[in-house]
């Protein structure tokens, strides 16, 4: 695998020689000093160009960066509508294992890019001095935020209400429906509540990572193992168990957040739990 130094020399060397490329930035985890570097990190690069259409006309110019296993062009797909406006991106996996997400941005949109940045940006090349202020990469936008009382209740409300759909799916034997609501909506709110509890204990000056990927560093080992158990979804019985475990964890962490921040824990937990247990009992009787 080519080293970071080799990759940077390759991409910046190309940009230096091509007059259409006036500015180059690096984004994402490779700019974040709080994340340890490893071989799986993508290179998130942006080229700010004067003639974007000339790049899009032919992909041959990308061959200069090595042999690709696969490439995706999200803004040139029918099934998935483009989301970047006038920007155009190439997601490339190279034969040596390096992965590069390259975005072409019209030069006139430089200021808009800077204003919309999430903070994890490093300027690698600025031929014309267009960025006139120092940019220091920071992940502050992703730090845990202290919830307001309203946000806390909204999280509780969403978690408990969505779980009524989970148990409905299980009672019907519609396991994919149940899994989708548990994994796509309910559990992310459990993780959100866990992060709020961590923030209440340790402060709100750090991130637990994208998709909560570092949350295990801050949870008690027994709670981490309990959380992992909620991902067991081989069948309906396992899903019923995951449902109960998820609810117990949420109840524990939301009560702790409420206590730490002086918020009121919602009383609908007890009523919704009773409703779900009733469905569970009826469902079990039908299968006996």
Domain at 130, CATH number? 3.30.460.10
Same domain, 154 and 282: yes
Same domain, 201 and 159: yes
Same domain, 74 and 133: yes
When pLDDT is cut at 50, 70 and 90, the band that residue 174 belongs to is: very high
When pLDDT is cut at 50, 70 and 90, the band that residue 117 belongs to is: confident
Same domain, 202 and 283: yes
The candidate with the shortest Cα–Cα distance to 102, out of 56, 45, 140, 19, is 45
Domain boundary among 92, 110, 141: 141
Residue-by-residue DSSP string for 177-225: HHHHHIIIIIHHHHHHHHHHHHHHHH-SSS---GGGTTGGGTS-HHHHH
Give the count of domains, the chain: 2
Burial class (CB within 10 angstroms; exposed 0-12, middle 13-18, buried 19+) of 92? buried
> What pLDDT score was predicted for residue 100?
97
Which residues pair with residue 43 across a beta bridge? 100
When pLDDT is cut at 50, 70 and 90, the band that residue 285 belongs to is: low
Longest Cα separation, the chain: 75
Pairing of strands 99-106, 43-49: parallel
**What are 101-111's pLDDT values in tens digits?**
999 999 999 99
From residue 20, alpha-carbon distances to 27, 50, 53, 110, 149 in Å are 21, 5, 11, 14, 51
Domain boundary among 102, 124, 141: 141
SS3 state of residue 145: coil
What is the spatial distance between Cα 209 and Cα 217, in angstroms, rounded to a whole number? Answer: 11
**What are 221-270's pLDDT values in tens digits?**
999 999 999 998 888 888 899 999 999 999 999 999 999 999 999 999 99
Distance of CA 278 to the CA centre of its chain: 36
Same domain, 61 and 174: no
What is the spatial distance between Cα 44 and Cα 120, in angstroms, rounded to a whole number? Answer: 10
Domain boundary among 141, 156, 179: 141
**What are 9-63's pLDDT values in tens digits?**
999 999 999 999 999 999 988 988 888 888 888 999 999 999 999 999 999 999 9
What is the spatial distance between Cα 187 and Cα 177, in angstroms, rounded to a whole number? Answer: 14
Which residues pair with residue 125 across a beta bridge? 24
State the pTM of this model.
0.85
> What pLDDT score was predicted for residue 72?
96
Same domain, 14 and 37: yes
Would you say 170 and 180 are in contact if contact means Cβ atoms under 8 Å apart?
no
Same domain, 130 and 188: no
Domain at 206, CATH number? 1.20.120.330
Same domain, 155 and 122: no
Same domain, 99 and 215: no
Same domain, 15 and 98: yes
Q: On the CB side of 75, how many CA atoms lie within 13 Å of its CA? A: 15
Would you say 276 and 215 are in contact if contact means Cβ atoms under 8 Å apart?
no
Containing structural domain, residue 253: 143-287
What is the spatial distance between Cα 199 and Cα 235, in angstroms, rounded to a whole number? Answer: 35
What is the spatial distance between Cα 157 and Cα 267, in angstroms, rounded to a whole number? Answer: 10
Same domain, 51 and 118: yes
Secondary element (H or E) of residue 282: helix 268-287
Q: Is the pLDDT of residue 287 over 70?
A: no
Same domain, 180 and 283: yes
Q: What percent of the chain has pLDDT over 90?
A: 75
């Amino acid at each position: 695998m080519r080293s970071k130094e080799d990759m940077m020399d390759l991409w910046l060397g190309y940009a230096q020689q091509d007059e259409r490329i006036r500015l180059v930035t690096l984004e994402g985890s490779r700019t974040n000093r709080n994340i340890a570097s490893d071989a799986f990190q993508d290179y998130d690069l942006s080229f700010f160009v004067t003639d974007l259409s000339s790049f899009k006309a032919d992909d041959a110019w990308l061959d200069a960066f090595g042999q690709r296993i696969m490439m995706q062009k999200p803004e040139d797909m029918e099934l998935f509508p483009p989301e970047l406006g006038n920007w155009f991106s190439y997601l490339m996996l190279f034969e040596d294992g390096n992965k590069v997400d390259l975005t072409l941005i019209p030069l006139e949109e430089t200021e808009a890019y800077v204003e919309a940045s999430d903070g994890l940006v490093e300027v690698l090349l600025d031929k014309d001095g267009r960025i006139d202020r120092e940019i220091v990469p920071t992940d502050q936008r992703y730090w845990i935020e202290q919830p307001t009382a309203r946000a806390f209740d909204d999280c509780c409300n969403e978690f408990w209400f969505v779980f009524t759909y989970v148990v409905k799916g299980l009672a019907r034997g519609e396991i994919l429906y149940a899994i989708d609501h548990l994994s796509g909506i309910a559990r992310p709110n459990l993780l959100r509540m866990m992060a709020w509890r961590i923030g209440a204990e340790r402060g709100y000056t750090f991130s637990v990572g994208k998709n909560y990927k570092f949350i295990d560093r801050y949870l008690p080992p027994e709670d981490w193992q309990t959380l992992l158990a909620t991902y067991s979804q081989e069948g309906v019985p396992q899903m019923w168990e995951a449902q109960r475990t998820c609810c117990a964890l949420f109840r524990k962490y939301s009560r702790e957040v409420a206590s730490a921040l002086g918020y009121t824990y919602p009383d609908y937990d007890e009523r919704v739990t009773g409703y779900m247990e009733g469905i569970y009992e009826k469902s079990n009787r039908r299968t006996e």
